[in-house]
Structure 1
């Protein structure tokens, strides 16, 4: 794997990673960053890394896991209260990396209907709305009511081009706010990892109801054996590849096999499904760390109709 000389926010101490530290350079477009590679198989761990995973110890107690699930929305709302809109970078790379955002329209003047599932404070939707070449309407939802309010307060928010609403994707029917079968593209970017694995299928079923036949889901999230996964200490593991951070938010690390099975069981067809591998350097700390993301595209089978 080639080396990328870029600043990263990983620290040299042993504290658990925050969401921002996990993301690191994840917000950069893989196609626009030199020295990265796509791979069909998971990263091979060193003996030291294997030993570290083997010393994770017992899982977090069932009582605490229930408490974390019950307080999941509160923990993400507190996250946005602490960090407001200053946490993640705007994703200016989405139209370059995911050509479906422009190519899936049947004719040039057609308005593209997009659902940003897990919109945060709008780091993806506002760069898209600023794209003069993209005729688009965006439905944007998030688990956190506070995040949704930040979206609505953004000067670029325009009800004629965007509708933001609070939604728990695991139980709130999207069709209350989004017409059934009306969406061309769903973006699911660093979102599904925050959902309990037992409820991921419910999330995908919910999304499927508003996606057109032939519509696309664009997925990018944390991959198996990413550096952030290996930094969790004993007492942080909730289940296989599933961990809790210091602030109570949770993160799952996907294998491509698990993700493909999850989507296929929900009626989707896989188009692409690859690991994105690269190394980042924290020059200040003298650290070189391996990053692993999973980038995939899935479609809801069927013929799309004219809009």
Structure 2
């Protein structure tokens, strides 16, 4: 997973992040499991890390969230994340929710970054039309500058999903699939429901949101140093970007409270093993599908 690279960024951890995806000996994945069991050392670490970042700094981080993501893309350009060619393998809805072969599939990628998911999808399927948005104006510009960008096949726009109405750019109930991939974790937990309500308006009845994000006790969560905790399962990285780590129950309650129906909601446990470096990196993701109810006849 490319997301293994966006962990805390001091020099030793940055070196580890570069080792993991580039020379792994194997990746082992299990689905439908409970979240991983901590070692005694990991339990002790989490139990001792109870001091929260001050309210003043938390308010500053919230106020400067867009600036911090814009600076992230300024530093890393389009070179940080790998292209996500795995989405059609993990989510059959990106291929199979059409009634006939040449029917257009309309998707929204909420939080598109620089297009690492968007462009592989457009390359693989000529019958996809994509709306895509991101919090960072700089990321949106990178998408528009990409040689693969085609305004006839996609519409990309800047959007704060907690505040800006998607209906300004996307017709109501016009989208077959919404992709919410490693996005919701970057948003304050108290504002996550605003994102889901916003998406609900543009999603067709009976169609679904495809979700994948950090799960509880993921390796990234356990690497945070003291004094980076914002709240329960919520942390800030050194660059000011934030990350929340989801449980099944929290995510289900969040979606159901907005009116969605649960289709699938499960942990994905991965172990990336690098024998040469003596590393075994436990990753925990939550992979889910939530559906907008069919309209009653």
Q: TM-score, normalised by structure 1?
A: 0.88
Change over 3 Å in CA distance of 1:17–1:281 after alignment to 2 = same
1:40 deviates by 3.6
Q: Is the 8 A contact 1:16 1:232 kept in 2?
A: no
Cα distance in structure 1, aligned partners of 2:90 and 2:266: 14
How many angstroms does 1:14 deviate by? 7.4
Residues 121 and 150, structure 1, Cα contact 8 Å, conserved in 2:
yes
* Contact 2:27 2:271 survives alignment (8 Å): no
Contact 2:28–2:272 (CA under 8 A) maintained in structure 1:
no
Task: Write the distance in 1 (CA, Å) between the matches of 2:28 and 2:230.
Answer: 33
1:285 Cα deviation from its structure 2 partner: 3.9
Q: What does residue 119 of structure 2 align with?
A: 126
SS at 2:211's partner residue? strand
Residue 174 (structure 2) aligns with: 182
Among residues 44, 49, 56, which one is paired with 1:63 in the alignment? 56
Alignment gaps of 5+ in structure 2 = none
Of 33, 55, 76, the match for 1:83: 76
In 2, Cα distance between equivalents of 1:223 and 1:9 = 16
Q: How many residues are paired up?
A: 288
Q: 1:243 to 1:17 in 2, by over 3 A?
A: farther
1:21 Cα deviation after fit = 4.3
- 1:28 paired residue number: none
Q: Tell me whether 1:100 sits opposite 2:87 in the alignment.
A: no
Match of 1:204 among 169, 192, 196: 196
1:179-221 C-alpha deviation (Å, 9 max, x unpaired): 0110000000000000000000000000001000011100000
Structure-1 residue corresponding to 2:268: 276
- In 2: Cα distance, 1:267 partner to 1:21 partner: 38
Cα contact 1:136–1:161 (8 A) shared by 2: yes
Partner of 1:235: 227
Distance 1:82 1:282, change over 3 A: farther
Q: Which has the higher helix share?
A: 2
Task: Give the alignment's TM-score, normalised by structure 2.
Answer: 0.91
CA contact (8 A) 1:184 1:216 kept: yes
> RMSD of aligned C-alpha atoms?
2.4
Q: Which residue of 2 aligns with 1:3?
A: none
- What is the DSSP-based 3-state SS (H/G/I as helix, E as strand, rest coil) of the residue aligned with 2:280? strand
Gaps of 5+ in 1: 1-7, 26-32
Aligned partner (choices 29, 46, 49) of residue 42 of structure 2 = 49
